[in-house]
Structure 1
């Protein structure tokens, strides 16, 4: 069973098996951060023969759109669950094309990249020289095989007037706990960009029967990921899902990392169960290397051993600026041993942080620029207070911003001091939908509402769920700033213009069967200049 912040941390404190890497070379590459395969290739070593099996079993993707650029991605893997995807050790020439039409009659950019074994035969192409705020189509060609066609879109020019846009955000997609019904719905709708806010994979084994999927997998997939090969295999398993592939193919994605891409509730160099630090750093390096190999991100997001640059900004003209945050790598350890606790000296310590000092300064300096009508914090978990104690007293999760009260006060108070016009937080992690009004200090009744938060539920983690569970009813009863709750699976679609932000909570009736349906559970509106939440 997957864990959300409302589950007791370290439940059972399982004994960690001895840390072993599947291959010494793979572990060494991950830890050093070396990226062989970036650059030119010796033509005599390049695989030019036609591949016998179809190599695009993991699909294609695009991401990190800029006004003049977008990253396009694929990974050659004719046998996705085999080591190295069933590829041999030779580099492979991959032709890529970007066109203005889906039949590729007007190709505007093209070239050749080399897929190499050291990078799991993944390909990242940072396509430059594109025009702002335009749709493009892309594909890859290897030998006699042509990939699916993907559609992407560049961002607007920095000062371009943007009358409106639509985007989606999602998180938490435990493969064995549900089908990706939400992604099937997402792929059918028009989105200018999609945000994935963490837990793209889970490090846990998928179980001997693969849970609701009932799909046979190699025995390695039933174990928790530790080695680079195991993390690579887990991404490959998830990416075989056709609905996930379809959602990647229709819009560019902007992605970050939460905890399960490495290990449940890790905090900086501190593991969930206090594994030896040097051992955990190797595991982090393995996890980040595999993440990079499977995500449509730039070389700037390639890991340097056990570290990766995740926080970055994306400007959508004069309408929205997205501040993509990293609340895992730089946070202090969870207070009071993690889990659900009353506010305590650790959680209230003014020196503790969830973002780290450098990222906090970067964020506050950026908020002062006031470059767009809507300023968005796109990140991992809830900023709003979430009290789960019925009646007197507080009981809050130590893994969310409730465990880092000083960070909440500095960021939300700082946004108000800097005159941010419309502050919106989008987040995931909770496996439930929660819409809240944001205050810098929930202990002070006079603390003003300075922003709005939309937390999206999981894609599949937690199985089907229900409209409200016991914790959800408590959240609604004890937190007057919470204006909406739901405990089903799904995602959030946002439609934004100069006068209002509409958050459409899309929920699946079931994810434990492959034929579930998705409908709109609630459409919530925030007006320009007023952070209060209203239902349409």
Structure 2
């Protein structure tokens, strides 16, 4: 662990008074103080509404007041004063039967975002919500609580997605996702990319303030404003509760704990990480337990869907060792086999393993950021793999997969983003052993836009299928994965688009891949 000349409190930049201002927007503290409603020249709900992390008795709601989300100072066109934001939760879309009503304070310290946590709702129910501030009414959002703890729901339908570089295409995938009949959405990271967007595959001219790389807090806020202004993304957020995590691009490509890809000093990089985490929280439906403390955030967590499924959301960035052998790809990197190397960190790994032992769920779902299964790029004798994902941390992967069997996990299914390609493959206890048993299944979902239009099959895909006998399906188009889970079967529908560099693409199901209850591995 690097020694900092700056404390984490100094990196955070807020003392006790500042922390109190931050907590007002979470609903953790109430206040009877009056706040005069400012006169706003535009719609303060330009970035939409969202809900997230559903529980049997409630959800967290989100909005950010930003009449000018493209304001260069990152303040969204808001005055530097607190603003009261009212919310309502109802059983019907016309709000005739309001079941929860309250208010929270949007503060400039959190870019006038609010995250009220709603409790006392009924399990497995649809609710509608909206906000009101400064005389303006927000769009209506729709959310859903999860089934009661200990219940045995018949089925679960959700979608998972990742990797939505604005500069690489239109968010048409979210138009189609918003029209699905889903219980929730899982987003696996790269919600934001730190790169400038002067050059883009949309073929549009962008304002110069978006051309620089995203580093400081104001610039991260501006980048989120650009992304979240997209109507399809807003609609998908408004229609379903989301369970979110991050990968690397929310801060910087391929960062590892306190180590920057670009060899910045730890102090400089941790300041950037703090800015990236704060901006993420300001723009996502996350609970106050995910409120960052400077460059640190508690993101790994577990949410249950009755006894049918557990979602165990991993954090594969904050606690990892640096990538071995200088990152990149290698066929002869012995360091990747080091038994002491960790991707999760000891504390998170132990938490995951204890969850394996204690959970009564039929389906154990790991929300994972970079592929867990081996991705050999050489059909020959060599094993040529990338070193940033789990292939760079082989011993910990082997231990995790072995422990899943030892601890009685009935059905282990990993859902993953990052790769901009669709895979369905078997998880092996040890990929170096040709006779190693299959212990689980992994579905890697393609990107929403990242990489541009894509293709059904590519030369790289042909290499992967030849080199990886555990891979049963490959596709390189854009889209998302829709999952239907019941007591007997898991079905992943790979929903793909023929193009994203212009709007209006249709969606189709390229393949449906099944996992049977009690039978490890995928069936195409």
When normalised by structure 2's length, the TM-score is 0.94
371, 378, 401: which one aligns with 1:389: 378
Matches within 5 A, 1:146-161: 146-161=137-152
Partner deviation per Cα, 1:99-156 (whole Å, 9 max, x = no partner): 0000000000010111111110001010011111111000001133111110000111
Task: Please show how residues 123-272 of structure 1 align to structure 2 within 5 Å.
Answer: 123-207=114-198, 210-212=200-202, 214-217=204-207, 219-272=208-261
Runs of at least 5 residues in structure 2 that lack an aligned partner in the other structure = 1-9
Q: Is contact 2:201–2:501 with CA below 8 Å preserved after alignment?
A: no
Name the SS for the 1:451 alignment partner.
Answer: strand
Alpha-carbon separation, structure 1, partners of 2:510 and 2:221: 36
Q: Shift of the alpha carbon at 1:370?
A: 3.6
The verdict on how the C-alpha distance between 1:496 and 1:472 changes in structure 2, with shifts beyond 3 A counting, is: same
In structure 2, the CA distance between the partners of 1:146 and 1:509, relative to structure 1 (3 Å rule), is same
Deviation per CA, 1:250-271: give whole Å up to 9, x if none: 1000000100000000000000
Pairing 1:57-72 to 2, within 5 Å after superposition: 57-72=46-61
1:401 aligns with 2:390: yes
Report if the CA contact (8 A) 1:51-1:144 is conserved. no
Do 1:328 and 1:354's aligned partners in 2 also have CA atoms closer than 8 Å?
yes
Q: Which residue of 1 aligns with 2:21?
A: 36
Instruction: Decide whether the 8 Å contact of 2:142 with 2:238 is kept in 1.
Output: yes
Q: In structure 2, how many angstroms separate the alpha carbons of the residues matched to 1:286 and 1:30?
A: 16
Question: Deviation of residue 346 (structure 1)?
Answer: 1.2
Q: Secondary structure at the match of 2:236?
A: helix
Per the alignment, do residues 264 and 33 of structure 1 end up closer, same or farther by CA in structure 2, a change over 3 Å counting?
Answer: farther
Cα distance in 2 between the residues matched to 1:250 and 1:201: 20
1:453 to 442, 453, 459: 442
Query: CA, structure 1 residues 144+34, in 2 after alignment: closer, same or farther (shift >3 Å)?
Result: closer
- The aligned counterpart of 2:488 is 499
Could you say what secondary structure the match of 1:368 adopts? helix
Partner residue in 2 for 1:102:
93
Secondary structure of 2:522 counterpart: strand
Partners of 2:218 and 2:257 lie apart in 1 by 22
Give the superposition deviation at 1:42.
7.1
**Other-structure match for 1:18:** none
Measure the CA separation in 1 of the matches of 2:348 and 2:109.
Answer: 31
CA contact under 8 A between 2:493 and 2:511: conserved in structure 1? Answer: yes
Q: Which sections of structure 1, spanning at least 5 residues, go unmatched?
A: 1-24
How many angstroms does 1:215 deviate by?
4.5
C-alpha contact (below 8 Å) 2:12/2:293 kept by paired residues: no
1:108 match: secondary structure: strand
Which of 264, 274, 297 is residue 285 of structure 1 equivalent to?
274
Query: Which residue of structure 2 lines up, in the alignment, with residue 373 of structure 1?
Result: 362
Range moving further from structure 2, 250-259 or 469-478: 469-478
Hey, what's the Cα distance between the residues in 1 that align with 2:262 and 2:16? 21
Query: Is residue 333 of structure 2 the alignment partner of residue 344 of structure 1?
Result: yes
Q: Secondary structure at the match of 1:453?
A: strand
How far the C-alpha of 1:34 sits from its partner, in A, is: 3.5
Would you say how many aligned residue pairs link Structure 1 and Structure 2? 508
SS in 2 for 1:450: strand
